[in-house]
Every structure is written in C-alpha cells, then in structure tokens.
C-alpha cells in the first residue's frame, strides 16, 4: 500500500512515525518545498517524487496536510488525480470540507484530536468507504463518525467552541483571583473537584491562549459564522474577551 502526502509538516512526520509497517510505502514530493521540509522528508525515510501530481496518481490513500488556507486549492489541483481515498486533515471549516467534497472522489474528512505530534493522537473520520481505513487501528486510535463528509470537522468546531470559551473564562477568573491576592488558593480549591493536575493544565491553557489569542479569536469567529443560527451568547462573549 502507498500513502501519499501533499505537504510534509508535523502531521505527516508524526503519521509516518506512527504507521510503522513494512507493507506501507510513504510518498511525497519536494516540489516547491523549503530546504528544511526536504530535510525532514529525508530524515523520515519517505519516497520523494518529482511532483505532487505523481504522488496523487500513485497513492492508494492521499492525505492533504498542509495549511488551512491551501486546503481547497490543493484538492482542486490534485484531487482529480487521486484514484483511492482522499483524506483532508487540515483544520478547516465544515463549509470548506463540503466544497472539497465536490472536487474529489472517495473523500474522507479527518480531524486530529490531541497534539498533532503526540504519541497517541485520536483520528476522527467521516465519509464513504471508511472500512478501507480500518487497518489504521493497528497504529493509532480511529473513530468513525458517519458517512457524511463534514461531520468530523463539525465535531472539531464544537470542541473548539467549548475549549476556547472555557479558556476565556479561566483567564478572567484567574485574573480576578490574582487581583484579590488569592490566585494560589483559587487553583487549590478548583483542584479539589477538577483533579490534582488541574493547576498545571490550567496554567498551560492560559499561557497557550494568551500567546495565540489572535489565532484563537479568529477560530471563534469562524465558529460564530458557521453556527450563525444557533444561540452562541457565551462564544460571542469569549470572542470579545480574546480580542481585548
């Protein structure tokens, strides 16, 4: 079996590391790639072809894992050459997922839950012919959602709706506690119900949110746009908080 990658960042590198089988050959291309990316390809011991068109044509499973703003263009450009499964693992909206589905055959919508480069990511999938991907369970955890492209992306949006709104509340409440000189006690009392590791994970969440508040605010804006007919009072308040 041949698995091809359009793009070779953290997602591709980690999947190559996790899906370790002598029966699987990984393909990608150095076409228009940076020296650093080419170095990562060589270190990952994948087969490097001249063009991504060749990668798409020869792959039994073609995985698009580049960047969200390129996902649709990549699908339009290379999806037509894919004769097997076309899987998109970019962090894109359900709207864009459905648009990609118009341009490729055998489309699978994928969402990675957990850190991209973690040792045990969970891969949520929706689309047709998911049974052909059952072999991936030998290497990582796969959860098949439905035959509807877009459902995996919707779940990822719903998760982001919760986690980013929670982060905004956490930042706000911890700042109030700090102003009252009760920050340490604040985390201690929450740890009684949230678990003894809560303080560590909460501080990590706060720092991560503050360091990438612009991107997270943009993601909340996408959520507000997609679920415009839903009651999103708390999400909209979190969006304003992160923008401030």
- pLDDT digit string (tens) for 207-217? 989 888 888 88
Show the CA angle centred on residue 190, arms to residues 169 and 176, nearest 5°.
Answer: 45
Q: Contact at 8 Å (CB) between 91 and 115?
A: no
CATH 1.10.1040.10, the chain: domain bounds: 155-243
- 60 burial (CB, 10 Å; 0-12 / 13-18 / 19+) is middle
Q: What does the pLDDT read at residue 36? A: 85
54 SS3 class: helix
Angle, helix 213-226 to helix 151-179, in steps of 10 degrees:
130
State the DSSP string of 195-217.
Answer: -TTHHHHHHHHHHHHHHTHHHHH
- Residues 118 and 128: their CA atoms lie apart, in Å, by 27
Rg, Å, the chain Cα set: 20
Q: What does the pLDDT read at residue 9? A: 87
Is the pTM for the entire model greater than 0.85?
Answer: no
Pairing of strands 107-113, 122-127: antiparallel
Q: CATH number for 155-243: choose from 1.10.1040.10, 3.40.50.720, 1.10.3720.10, 3.40.50.880.
A: 1.10.1040.10
Tally of CB atoms within 10 A around 225: 10
Residue range 63-102, pLDDT digits in tens: 998 878 889 999 999 999 999 999 999 888 899 999 999 9
CATH 3.40.50.720, the chain: domain bounds: 2-146
Beta-carbon contacts of residue 64 (< 8 Å; ≥ 6 apart): 6, 7, 71, 74, 75, 78, 86, 87, 88, 89, 90
Beta-carbon contacts of residue 168 (< 8 Å; ≥ 6 apart): 209, 237, 238, 241, 242
Question: 């953290």: which residue's tokens?
Answer: 10
Give the pLDDT band (50/70/90) at residue 5: very high
Q: Is the pLDDT of residue 118 over 80?
A: no
2-146 carries CATH number 3.40.50.720: yes
Q: Contact at 8 Å (CB) between 6 and 55?
A: yes
């Amino acid at each position: 079996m041949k698995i091809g990658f359009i793009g070779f960042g953290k997602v591709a590198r980690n999947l190559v590391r996790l899906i370790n089988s002598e029966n699987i050959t990984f393909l990608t291309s150095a076409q228009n790639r940076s020296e650093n990316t080419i170095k990562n390809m060589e270190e990952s011991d994948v087969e490097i072809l001249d063009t991504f068109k060749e990668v798409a044509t020869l792959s039994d499973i073609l995985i698009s894992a580049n960047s969200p703003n390129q996902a649709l263009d990549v699908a339009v450009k290379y999806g037509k050459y894919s004769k097997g499964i076309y899987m998109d693992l970019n962090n894109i909206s359900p709207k864009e997922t459905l648009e990609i589905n118009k341009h490729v055959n055998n489309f699978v919508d994928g969402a990675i839950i957990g850190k991209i480069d973690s040792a045990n990511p969970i891969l949520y999938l929706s689309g047709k012919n998911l049974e052909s991907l059952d072999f991936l369970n030998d290497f990582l955890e796969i959860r098949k959602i439905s035959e509807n492209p877009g459902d995996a992306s919707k779940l990822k949006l719903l998760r982001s709706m919760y986690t980013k709104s929670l982060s905004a509340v956490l930042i706000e409440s911890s700042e109030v506690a700090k102003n009252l000189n009760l920050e340490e006690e604040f985390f201690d009392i929450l740890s009684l119900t949230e678990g003894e590791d809560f303080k560590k994970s909460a501080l990590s969440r706060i720092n991560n949110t503050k360091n990438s508040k612009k991107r997270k605010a943009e993601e909340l804006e996408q959520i507000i746009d997609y679920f415009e007919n839903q009651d999103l009072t708390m999400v909209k308040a979190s969006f304003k908080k992160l923008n401030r």
